[in-house]
A and B are shown apart, each in its own frame.
Chain A
């Protein structure tokens, strides 16, 4: 039965390729096709995640240690669930949004294919498989970034490829080192460097390898100083920014780093070494840097992109604490941030779609003109800032607690960064909210926004649904945290 696991990976890839060949002329037919593929794949991936756990399926075996193998474990379930559910939501949103971008057929082909590739990352059972799908993810999403095919999109695409592939190839160095010094390449909670005799004397080399992996895979998670591609990639259509550059692609980076840290190198060889501090300090710098850049940025999508840069480093910081509590904190923030940030991007997209306005100071008085949209924005912003009882506070609490518990001075410095970043987050998000609800007196808001209104159901329902989700699970986060804790205990 374990061969079922490859269906959620190859079904969307095949269907995406088929869509490329079919080239529907009617929008309605295409929407039914894409929606049914995505929904079917979501259902399949969720069902298979729970019915075929902990069993492997090898697609291709190169050697004893190198193979293309798929497996579901706790971490895959978390990542797979987040991606599968949000993918479907984003699909409906893009049906409406993509009407004004054109070239929908090509867009939805690669959009569908990327779904399969992300599932491939989630379900990979060893480093080689993950590397394969990690590279494929860059290539499958490249046409989406370059969608507009104008000069700016093309240069953003080149930057995206340059950063991502360079990162992955440095990650490959770490994979090679692990292959030579580890017992296998499979993901085992606690790491694969268990053969003390092989590792002895090469600790420093392996720590350098870890740094290569951290910054290499960290490129997708926009770690300082390799964050630059993410704001540039904002030229992509908003569903891409929302789903890929706030959820799927960037979380793939986080996911890869958790795999490498907790499941490949293992925390024992890293904890308390210079490698841990370098990684942690990079994350701390990024937290503050991302938030400050967001505050400076006047373009809504780029402001949100810098906010993503900062928030991704919350997760990296938490992961780099290298205790089970750190993993719990990181995963919790991954889930919560995904839900909140995709909603914020949806709002930004709705504004661009309805009005074509892209700058913060063009939003005066939008609270009245787009009430539902701005309500979603306000609630999710408050969640991201961490105002109780909404979603964000729980994850930040868990991260801070993990940092305090580990007792490391650098980790404690990280808490200061978290607080500073919370203040900056408040500033850059509330600026938008205040402009929307309390416009300046000297401008005629009614005249300015006379054509502005909420988008239709295909856009509002995803936004409001996710907002409702964020409220409910902000108040009752325990079911998720229980799952994360059992993952971090190595049970699931």
Chain B
């Protein structure tokens, strides 16, 4: 019998290790110990997946791994390839640094007695995401979707307060709706085909498609599973739960939910696109068209909503809605390069968005724990690294060359140009508009957080409404140019500044710890790494997509 390489065990080991690592935490009932174990598990998992990635890239193979001794079509299987291994590695890296970056906030926001539970949930979350990435079985996918949902809700609710409870309930309802739809899809599929393993499903579905049987039920199945995963990954218009959940949770939770949890479902969907259905079939049934339309809508509407926000975390959360739109748009382009761009965007968003959330959290820490723009004025001067990281994240989101967002934009545009003349203008224009919108909401925040001390007070009325921009235009057109031009600074009441300075001096500004700095530097490095050396990553991804 052909000897299986030892590294093929690693996906299974990762899932079991994260699961067991989580289960043993209640024995310690101590947040600090739990955190150390959690970090150890993440590192071990990351290393295993990285080794697997290296092995798979060098051999250029993918594999299916039988769980137990039940062969297909009865047994449960894991399937790994370069795409899965790369994603799993990246998820471990991002998760590790997200936890590190928000450590201070976790210990502050989560009640002491429940801290170990938070890390337990983190372990479960990682476990379920890795399982979603590697699984080759639809029902296993469903089980881990549910685990993922519950763990995600738990880490939202970990920060106690009415706001998070409301957010969690909304999240839970939407999420369960999504997984319910997914379950319906699987049930129907099992009814029609009698299979749950992806390969067997694929065979039967292709046969049915060729013979024209069950066209209507299959369409429904495709639509329902797609819809379920769209709800769970917050594609516009099913995004309503996201800003609340991501905006109110503790910093690390927001970072992980935005950066990773949404992507787990998308990776599962990509695998289903290729391994259960087929891209041609999805295109024939216009499912990709629907994804394209919703993706483009999300890109625009997410940004428009972000533009209206005055709460830095909610703004960043709405920006995620837009970025998820990019990814689905790439999938909707119905070409390999579109999927490639989408996969790369998963990575680039995974290294950028957690950085933005962590930086926003750190900036709020030095601004009396307020996330409102008006309170964040000049916050970056108190935590310079967070300020720099936020600006880098913003530039990456806008898609400036050298940053991680640029290659995505490059590949999305290329994919659009190589598609047909209907998709081409829609996607290119949407990309251009969305770039501009990103700049419009990120740049004012960057300026706001870097304001000098002497201008940080007394302009409170400035950011209160969106409407003033229009009023002001009219004002200028009539030629009324009052004479106080440029003197605003001098007219500020001196006492106000002095009082603020006094207050600042006596308010204890929490220091950013070593773990935060480490995580910021790591994210910045990842960002530049993806932005500059994107060709090797693209090669791995396209190798992985070919093998799907």
Which residues of A are interface residues toward B (Cβ below 8 A)? Answer: 60, 62-63, 66, 68, 100-103, 106, 128-129, 131-132, 135-136, 139, 142-143, 146-152, 154-155, 157-159, 161-162, 165-166, 169-170, 172-173, 176-177, 179-180, 205, 228, 231-232, 235, 237, 297-299, 302, 352, 356, 358-359
Q: How many A-B residue pairs have CB under 8 A?
A: 133
Q: Which residues of chain B from 154 to 170 have a CB within 8 Å of any chain A CB?
A: none
Q: Point out the residue from A129, A172, A299 that lies within 8 Å of B432, measured CB to CB.
A: A172
Please, which residues of chain B bring their CB within 8 A of the CB of A235? Answer: 485
Q: Which residues of chain B from 443 to 492 have a CB within 8 Å of any chain A CB?
A: 443-444, 447, 451-452, 454-455, 459, 461-462, 468-469, 472-473, 475-476, 479, 481, 483-486, 488-490
Does A358 lie within 8 Å of B490, measured CB to CB? Answer: no
Q: Point out the residue from A142, A155, A358 that lies within 8 Å of B481, measured CB to CB.
A: A358
Q: Is B64 an interface residue (CB 8 A)?
A: no
CB distance from B333 to the nearest CB of A (A): 14
Please, which residues of chain A bring their CB within 8 A of the CB of B400? Answer: 132, 135-136
Does A103 lie within 8 Å of B401, measured CB to CB? Answer: no
Q: Is B413 an interface residue (CB 8 A)?
A: yes
**Chain A's interface: helix, strand, loop or mixed, by majority?**
helix
In Å, the complex CA distance between A146 and B462 comes to 13
- Interface 0/1 of B409-446, CB less than 8 Å to A: 11001101110010010001101110110011001100
CB distance from B545 to the nearest CB of A (A): 18
Does B476 lie within 8 Å of A176, measured CB to CB? Answer: no
CB distance from B423 to the nearest CB of A (A): 13
Does B462 lie within 8 Å of A139, measured CB to CB? Answer: no
Q: Point out the residue from A66, A103, A128, A154 that lies within 8 Å of B462, measured CB to CB.
A: A154
Please, which residues of chain B bring their CB within 8 A of the CB of A150? Answer: 459, 462, 484, 488
Does A176 lie within 8 Å of B486, measured CB to CB? Answer: no
In Å, the complex CA distance between A228 and B429 comes to 22
CB distance from A6 to the nearest CB of B (A): 14
Does B417 lie within 8 Å of A103, measured CB to CB? Answer: no
Q: Give the interface centre of B401, B431, B468 by most chain A CB atoms within 10 Å.
A: B401
Q: Point out the residue from B413, B443, B535 that lies within 8 Å of A172, measured CB to CB.
A: B413
Given contacts A158-B469, A179-B414, 11 further A-B contacts (CB under 8 A): A62-B532, A100-B486, A157-B447, A159-B473, A161-B440, A169-B433, A173-B413, A176-B410, A176-B417, A176-B428, A180-B418
Please, which residues of chain B bring their CB within 8 A of the CB of A297? Answer: 479
Does A135 lie within 8 Å of B398, measured CB to CB? Answer: yes
In Å, the complex CA distance between A205 and B418 comes to 12
In Å, the complex CA distance between A356 and B517 comes to 48
Does A132 lie within 8 Å of B401, measured CB to CB? Answer: yes
Please, which residues of chain B bring their CB within 8 A of the CB of A359? Answer: 481
Does A102 lie within 8 Å of B414, measured CB to CB? Answer: no
Q: Point out the residue from A68, A149, A161 that lies within 8 Å of B488, measured CB to CB.
A: A149
CB distance from A350 to the nearest CB of B (A): 15
In Å, the complex CA distance between A101 and B490 comes to 9
In Å, the complex CA distance between A302 and B485 comes to 14
- Chosen A-B contacts, 25 in total, with CB atoms closer than 8 Å, are A60-B402, A62-B535, A63-B535, A103-B452, A142-B443, A148-B485, A148-B486, A149-B451, A150-B484, A152-B475, A152-B476, A158-B440, A162-B439, A165-B435, A165-B436, A169-B435, A170-B432, A172-B409, A173-B413, A177-B417, A180-B414, A205-B424, A298-B479, A302-B479, A358-B481
CB distance from B130 to the nearest CB of A (A): 31
Please, which residues of chain A bring their CB within 8 A of the CB of B485? Answer: 148, 152, 235, 352, 358
Q: Point out the residue from B401, B479, B488 that lies within 8 Å of A131, measured CB to CB.
A: B401
Does A176 lie within 8 Å of B535, measured CB to CB? Answer: no
In Å, the complex CA distance between A154 and B374 comes to 14
Q: Point out the residue from B421, B455, B472 that lies within 8 Å of A103, measured CB to CB.
A: B455
Please, which residues of chain B bring their CB within 8 A of the CB of A157? Answer: 444, 447
Does A128 lie within 8 Å of B401, measured CB to CB? Answer: yes
Does A169 lie within 8 Å of B431, measured CB to CB? Answer: yes
- Interface 0/1 of B36-61, CB less than 8 Å to A: 00000000000000000000000000
Asked, given contacts A62-B535, A103-B455, whether A152 binds B472 with beta carbons under 8 Å apart, the answer is yes
Closest Cβ neighbor of A59 among chain B residues = B402
CB distance from B530 to the nearest CB of A (A): 11
In Å, the complex CA distance between A352 and B413 comes to 47
Asked, given contacts A154-B462, A155-B473, whether A173 binds B428 with beta carbons under 8 Å apart, the answer is yes
Q: Is B534 an interface residue (CB 8 A)?
A: yes
Does B402 lie within 8 Å of A132, measured CB to CB? Answer: yes
Please, which residues of chain A bring their CB within 8 A of the CB of B436? Answer: 162, 165-166, 169
Closest Cβ neighbor of A165 among chain B residues = B439
Please, which residues of chain A bring their CB within 8 A of the CB of B532? Answer: 60, 62
Does B440 lie within 8 Å of A155, measured CB to CB? Answer: no
CB distance from B485 to the nearest CB of A (A): 7
CB distance from A127 to the nearest CB of B (A): 11
Does B432 lie within 8 Å of A237, measured CB to CB? Answer: no
